[in-house]
Structure 1
Amino acid sequence: MTDFDLRGVYPAMVTPFAPDGSIDHQTLADDARRLERAGVDGLVPVGSTGESATLTHDEHVEVVETVVDAVDVPVIAGSGSNSTREALELSRRSAEVGADALLLISPYYNKPEQAGFVEHYRTIADAVDVPQIVYNVPSRTGQNMEPATVEALAAHENIAGYKAASGDLNQISEVIERTRDEEFAVLSGDDGLTLPVLAVGGVGTISVCANVEPERTVAMVRAALDDDDYARARELHHELGPLCRQLFVETNPIPVTAAMEIRGYGPNALRPPLTELSEGHYEALEELLSDLEATRESSLELGVVEGE
């Protein structure tokens, strides 16, 4: 396995769709380059935010390939499934088109026991020789991955990290405690908890908010990790707080897709059964994004700037 430094900010990318419902690969590539210029440490296409659940396997791999071809930063491809066989196929194909690492959501709907999680992830890690991140998001999958399970997985040389989206900081802290002796990265999967996760030993974030405010998100994470400047990091955390909450007033990626349209980054188009953001929430998001834009220059004066 190639060494992979998972420190930093990794936007969970939106997949843009054309009016006919097909994938808009040009907008996807342009957006990947925009995020790279903003200073992110890597990109995560075809996760939950990228509507992986409604893409065919071929579309899934094509999205990964488009992003890989567009940028020089590392690409972490979402390649999970509730079927171990399907997750293995997507993982192999994503690695073949150049993904530097893989993000694997825990099997959803099936609700496996903890032993099933271990078998699922080890099967893929044994077969695909790229760094892999296990992803715990029980609000979507229906089953929590226990800290002891994550500890067992962290011993595998190809399992390099954990995306923590349980919303339970005590549990996340325990995972960090249990894996401190391994080369294993814990990343926040909840935007509102990124700074608290960094404070207890996390090393970065796979972020929805970073699609819309990549510079501020990068500045916050670097202030904490690189500069040990938690006063600066807290300031940025609170600036981003209203956006983090607004991007989850309806099911992700409904609000962030609307935000992409408001900012001019992509179309407000989703695949059924997802629907467009309700009018009231859209107006509130427009106002919030306008306020953030107005304070961008002063906010980032002491942090990173676009193009750094």
Structure 2
Amino acid sequence: MQGIGPPLVTPFDEHGDVDYDRLTDLVGRLEREGVDFLVPCGSTSEAPLLTPEERTRVIETTAEVASVPVLAGTGAPGLRQTRAWTEAAAEAGAVGALVVTPFYYNHSQDDLAGYYRDLADGASIPIYLYSVPVFAKTRLDPETAGSLAEHPNIVGMKDSAGDLGAFVRTLDRVEESFDLLVGDASVLAQALDAGASGGIAALANLYPDRLSALVETHSDDPEFARERNRSLVSINRAVTTEHGIPGLKYAMRQRGFPAGYARRPHTEPSESARADITDRMEQLP
């Protein structure tokens, strides 16, 4: 995967049911605004709040209407469930599986390496590693990622650890053909400077056009890309670390995106949060 892929929000209606019509419309809108691929059932998709049947149908719906590649989130705490979800995603039309590090329990780097190799050995679609310590409470070290990149069916990684130094160390340990994607829009330009293939960023749901343009212009004018990236840091923080998925969906609705609502236990942003998000959006150049 190259370029920008949003970890696709899952639109829920006011009753908490998945709104597949809104999802279809959202896929079309994001494609028209320039995204290069789509990532249903990721962290921003509220995947842990979906039933297995909903996960499959969300991927299926996305793949049916998308003209860009679909990289589906399929990670679970255990290998057996991850295998099942990966094959279900392949049957639903995904061309790759984004597999988060096993969460809940603590695992050594050797355990993680063995888990990914066993998964990749039998998977019918390519595997992308996914390191997001803020949620999974564990991370893939650069040495582990570099070793796993030697597997013929492990072809890329989303790094959401927020450590550019570790990101560069990972880049130093993989071949150029390995897709190393950054998971934080705030450092997208810096990651591209280092050699990243692109990004899977929550902000791409809200400003797909800006992030796509940033990637496209980076090779010709990296300083301009860095300036544009700096202008997005504040709103990115607002709709990720500060106000979360409900804040992101609120911001998307303000821009006319069919984002729907978040699923409980998420609740709608407070009045002050909505005002803060709106103010930051209005400050963008």
TM bin (shorter chain): over 0.9
Structure 2 match to 1:195:
189
Residue deviations 1:11-42 (CA, integer Å, cap 9, x gap):
11110012221110010010001111111101
Which range is displaced more, 278-287 or 133-142?
278-287
TM-score by length of 1: 0.89
2:37 match: 42
1:121 partner letter = Y
Contact 2:160–2:182 (CA under 8 A) maintained in structure 1: yes
Describe the SS at the equivalent of 1:123: helix
Moved more, 282-291 or 168-177: 282-291
Q: Is the 8 A contact 2:243 2:273 kept in 1?
A: no
CA distance in 2, matches of 1:114, 1:221: 32
1:85 corresponds in structure 2 to 80
User: When the two structures are superposed, what TM-score results if normalisation uses the length of structure 2?
Assistant: 0.96
1:273 pairs with 261, 265, 273, which one?
265
SS at match of 2:162: coil
Match in the other structure for 1:306: none
1:36 aligned partner, one-letter code: E
| Residue 251 of structure 1: how far off its partner (Å) | 5.7
Letter in 1 for 2:270: S
1:300 corresponds to: none
Cα deviations across residues 143-191 of structure 1 (Å, max 9, x unaligned)?
1211111011101111111111111111111000011x36311100111
Q: Is the 8 A contact 1:250 1:277 kept in 2?
A: no
Number of residue pairs the alignment of both structures matches: 285
Deviation at 1:249, TM superposition (A): 4.1
2:114 is the alignment partner of 1:122: no
Secondary structure of 1:161's counterpart equals strand
Contact 1:101 / 1:132 at 8 angstroms: preserved in 2?
yes
Q: CA RMSD in A?
A: 1.4
The residue number in structure 1 matching 2:218 is 224
Mapping of 1:126-145 within 5 angstroms? 126-145=121-140
Matches within 5 A, 1:238-257: 238-250=230-242, 252-257=244-249
1:9 equivalenced with 2:4 (yes/no): yes
Show CA shifts across 1:47-104 (max 9, x none).
Answer: 0100000101110010001010111100110111111111111100000111011111
The answer to whether the 8 Å contact 2:3/2:199 transfers is yes
Match of 1:305 in 2: none
Identity of aligned residues (%): 35
Q: Once the two structures are superposed, what CA deviation does each residue of 1:193-250 show, in whole Å capped at 9, x if it has no partner?
A: 111111111110001111111111011111114x2x1122022112212211211243
Query: Which residue matches 1:28?
Result: 23
Q: Which runs of 5+ in 1 are unaligned?
A: 1-5, 296-308
